[in-house]
Structure formats: structure tokens, C-alpha cells
Amino acid sequence: MYARFGGAEHRVQSTKGVLARAARESSDLRRGFVAAGVVTLVATLLKVLGPLVVRFGIDSGVIVGDRVAVVRAAAVFFLLLVLQYATARASIRLIAGVGERFLRRLRERVFRHMLSLDVGFFGRTKTGVLVSRMTSDVEALTTFVDEGAVQVLTSVLMVVGVGIAMLFVDVTMGLIILALLPFLVGASLVFRRYADRAYQRVREHIGRVLASVQEGISGVRVVQAYTQQDQQATDFGRVNEEYYEANLAAARAISTYFPAVDLLRTLGTVLVLGLGGLRVLDGSLTFGSLFALLLYLQWFFEPITQLSNVYNLMQAAIAALDKLFGLLDTPSGVPDPATPVPLATADGAVGFHHVAFGYVPGIPVIGRLDLDVAPGERVAVVGETGAGKSTVAKLAVRFHDPDRGAVTIDGVSLRDVDPTDFRRHVVMVPQEGFLFSGTLADNLRYARPDTDDASLWELCERIGIADWVRSLPDGLATEVRERGSRFSSGERQLVALARALVADPTVIVLDEATSNLDPDTERRVEAVLGTLLEGRTAIVIAHRLATADRADRVVVMADGEVVEEGPPAELLAAGGHYTRLHAAWRAGYVTGE
């Protein structure tokens, strides 16, 4: 069975396959699992011994009037209770401890792997689905570890232990009770068959519900601007209805199974009371044995009922684990090289050689691109919407690999360059400056965490934003809030540019970094850009052609190919594509990708 994930197919593993993989990946925790199992076994054994002590107290004490035997049985039973409490407590702590260590490592692995995936993956996969993996799926595993794992292990041991104990008390009566087991197993298998499907659907649909909620909240301004609240709510209602139906299917399976288990338990009680009572009367069974069998009967069905109660938790946990393993198995579209070429220093020469690329197979965005950018050269890439400008930027920073051809730095294909070296030398500033929660200083030193405050102030003075930083409530220690909401878009972009300067790259790629700014803010940003780009190789995706006019060379793109290139003044005088774009820009038309 296959499921779609991130635009690719993920093979849904069987329960055995998921558990086997979990066991392999937690082999170093095996000692903890064994210790937990041994302690749980001891706790179960202590509980199973209880009815045998009660039988002794009744037959050897109450029936014959021996007070000493009654007191002795009571004392032993109390001691068993104390020991059972201690071992059960230790069992819960050990199982939860091992489980939580496994989950801690799994969360870190999944998050780290997600961050390593290519940008295209995040374009194909809804944010809500990924959030669901790290929230609801991990929560399902946590709930099972905290509440269900102990019950599963204890219940299995109790069923086995009670079965043996009943045969020890009386073979005939034990076999009569165990004769109900095939019916119980049959009902459980039928329940599992239907419940498996139901809970799989529940896990699938909850991801869609979260994705729909996330999309609605993220786009609330657009929703309200076009008065589409009712339509958005209707779309969510359709997804929510499917989730509701999936939960109802699970509830129907439960409503059939548990009454069947209760019916079998009642039937077992009738058999034990009827047949056992007759045997007590004819003297072939002691009253203490009958009482012990009645206790064991309840304990025989109780763990099976508990297993059924936690079955939904277990299925949710297994389904969640399978999805997380599926995410871990998702390959990156820009894999690390098998033998990385070090790039300790870089001159900054960037080349595009016979490059072709499309986001969707068979639909090229760039048909053929040949472009060389010399070290220290500032190249502006311009063109109308859909020309492929931003795609050039993404290929230059290796957010994607080309379908054909190669992008190089200093003559080495980006596919072969050591990723750490590459990211140290090449930095991209996108159209919108994204800021992380934390202080302004935290965001400025994001690429170089060891940068001290004195160096940050020196940089702020250098690019002319020191007065603005001083005007903030806490200077560099000012909290920027979520996504930098404390600042305007222009201020966020200034911080993003300053952050790039702290990184001190050899090559910088600007993807329309001034396109959404007002004229006054644009002038401030352009001043910062002058400092940032000084002495560096720069590929500038230009929306406003004033930026292109200050470049050493302009590359004009149309339909994914270079149609014109040269110094901006020469292109402007040539009367070609750049001249027309310039005229449209000056007339107020918005062009850009």
C-alpha cells in the first residue's frame, strides 16, 4: 500500500514492519526494554499470586476455623500488595523512560531531516501536514508511551499468567474458561480488521484538517478581502466531515466489539458459578478454589478489555510512527555529494553551463542557460513575469539542482561542493526578510553565532542603521516578536541585509530584495546594498530597474533563456528588450517574477 507524501509515494508498512524498524533503530535502548520487561513480569507474577493466597486463607483458615492461617494469609496478601505497588511503579517509570528517550531522539531526527530537505519539497507539501507530523503524530506516540505501553505489556503478561494460574488451581475449570478464548480471539481479529482501516483514515484526515486550518489562518487577509469566509468555512466543513466519518467508523467498530467481550465474560461467570458451584457441593472443588477462579476470570477478561481500550492508542501510535518513518525516508532533491569537494576559500566565480530546469517534469522554466559571472562582478537579471529570473536565483544557491547541465562555483559543480563550505560562501537574501523569534542581536548573528555585540554595533554603524537600532526600546536586545512583526517590512529587510553582511559571504544572491518597499525605505536599503555588495560577486534579481542600472552587467531573460546582456547603459541605448522593460518600469508598470 502506498500513500502520497511531499509529492512522492511512501510505502505504508505493516504493523510488524513498523515495530521491527522501531526495534532496529532503538537497539541501544534494548537494556532498558529488558529491564522494564523483567520488572513488569515480577509485578504481574506478584498480582497473579494473590488469589492463590486468598484460596489458602479460605480453605485452610476460614473453612476450618484456623485464625492463625487467616492472619498469615492476610499478612502475605498485604506483603504482595506492597511489593506489587513498588514493582508496578518501577515498571511504569522504566517503560515511560525508555519510550520518552526514543521519542526525544525521533523528534530531533525528524526535525533535522526536514530542515535538510530541498526547498521544492516544502513547495509540494502543505505546511499543515508537516506541522501535523511534529504535533499530532508525535503526540499520538507520546500518549501511547505514557498511557498505553504499560497497559499493553501488563495485559499480555496477565492473560498468560492468569491462564496458567487457572490451570494450576483446577485443570477442568481452567480448560472450560480457556475454551472461550477462541471466540474472544476471533472477535478481536474482526475488530482489528475494521479498526485498522478506521484509524488509518483518522490519521490521514486529521492531517488534512490541520492543513485546511493552517491555510485558512495564513490567508485570512485574502479571505476577508474577498469576503470568502463562507466559502472557506464550507471547504473546511467538507474536510472536517470526512474526518468526522472516519471517527464514526472507528466508533462503530468499538461499539460492536466491547459488548461482545462483556457477553463472553458474563458467559464465563455463569459457567464458573454453575459448574464450579456444583463441584463445590459434591466436594470435588474447594470453595477457596472457586473464589480464586472467579477472581482469575475477571482478571482474564479485564486485560483483554484493556488491550482493546488502548488498541486505538496503539494503532494511532503505529500509524504515526509509520508516517514519521516515511518522512525520514523522503530523499532530498539536492542530495549531499558522496565525495564532497572542499571549498575553504572561494574567488566567487559562478557559472551556468547548458542549464535546463523545470519545477514540474516536462514543463521547463529554463530551457537553456549559459551564463558566467566573474569574481566581484555585479550581474542584474531582469525580465517579465515568468521569464525565469527567480529560478536563476534558486539554482545559484542550490535550492534546486538543474535537470540538465551544471551550476558551478569556481569551476566546481554545486552537486560536488561540500555543503557547509558552500553555505559559508554563498548567501541569499529573499524578497521578504524573515526574522526568527528572539532579539535583534540573535537575528543579526544567525549565520555566525559567535559574533559579539561590539562587532554588531560596528556593522550597524558601517551600513548606517545604528541610529535606528538605538531608537529601539532595548537596542540590540529588542525582541523582534514572531516573524519580526515588531518591525515594518522595510526594517525587516534592513535586518536581513545586515544579517547577510555578518555572514560575510563571497557570493550574494538578491531575489528582488527591494520590490515591496516604499521609495524612502528603498533608498535606505539601496545604501545598505552598496556596502553589502562591495567587493563581492552579486547576482541581483531586479524588479525595480534602478537596481539594474547600478549593475556591472544586465542579463535580460524571456521564456527561460537569455535574450540580451551587457552593460546597462549600452542595453538602454540599444533599443531592445531592456529598453522596453525600462520604459514600462518608468511608466509605472509592475514587472517581475
Sequential DSSP letters for 152-218: HHHHHHHHHHHHHHHHHH-HHHHHHHHTTHHHHHHHHHHHHHHHHHHHHHHHHHHHHHHHHHHHHHH
The four Cα atoms 304, 306, 309, 315 give a dihedral, to 10 degrees, of -70
Q: How far apart are the C-alpha atoms of 392 and 369, rounded to whole Å?
A: 9
Q: How far apart are the C-alpha atoms of 518 and 522, rounded to whole Å?
A: 6
Q: How far apart are the C-alpha atoms of 201 and 198, rounded to whole Å?
A: 5
Q: How far apart are the C-alpha atoms of 17 and 49, rounded to whole Å?
A: 36
State the span(s) of the chain assigned CATH 3.40.50.300.
350-586
Reported as type and span, the H/E element at residue 265 is helix 229-271
CA-nearest of 369, 412, 421, 363 to 394 is 369
Reported as type and span, the H/E element at residue 381 is strand 378-383
Q: What is the assigned CATH class of domain 14-328? A: mainly alpha
- 576 CB contacts (<8 Å, ≥6 apart)? 556, 564
The four Cα atoms 448, 516, 438, 125 give a dihedral, to 10 degrees, of -90
CB 507 within 8 A of CB 475: no
Conformation bin of residue 22: beta by default, left when phi > 0, alpha when psi is -120 to 50: alpha
State the span(s) of the chain assigned CATH 1.20.1560.10.
14-328
- What is the chain's pLDDT, residue by residue, as a tens digit (593 residues)? 444 444 444 455 567 778 788 878 788 888 888 898 899 899 989 999 999 999 999 989 888 888 899 999 999 999 999 999 999 899 888 888 888 888 888 888 888 888 888 887 877 777 767 877 887 788 888 888 777 777 888 888 888 888 899 899 989 888 988 888 788 777 777 777 777 677 777 767 777 787 787 777 777 777 776 677 788 788 888 888 888 888 887 777 777 777 877 788 888 888 888 888 888 888 888 899 888 988 888 888 778 777 766 776 787 788 888 888 888 888 888 888 889 998 878 888 999 999 999 988 888 899 889 999 999 999 999 988 888 888 999 999 998 999 999 999 999 999 999 988 898 899 888 877 788 888 889 988 888 888 899 988 988 888 888 888 899 888 888 888 777 777 887 788 888 888 888 888 899 998 876 655 666 666 766 777 777 778 889 999 887 777 788 889 999 998 888 999 999 889 888 888 888 888 887 776 444 44
Please provide the CATH number assigned to the domain covering 350-586.
Answer: 3.40.50.300
β-pairing verdict for 366-373 and 404-409: unpaired
Q: What are the C-alpha distances in Å from 368 to residues 137, 364, 387, 556, 561?
A: 43, 9, 12, 14, 6
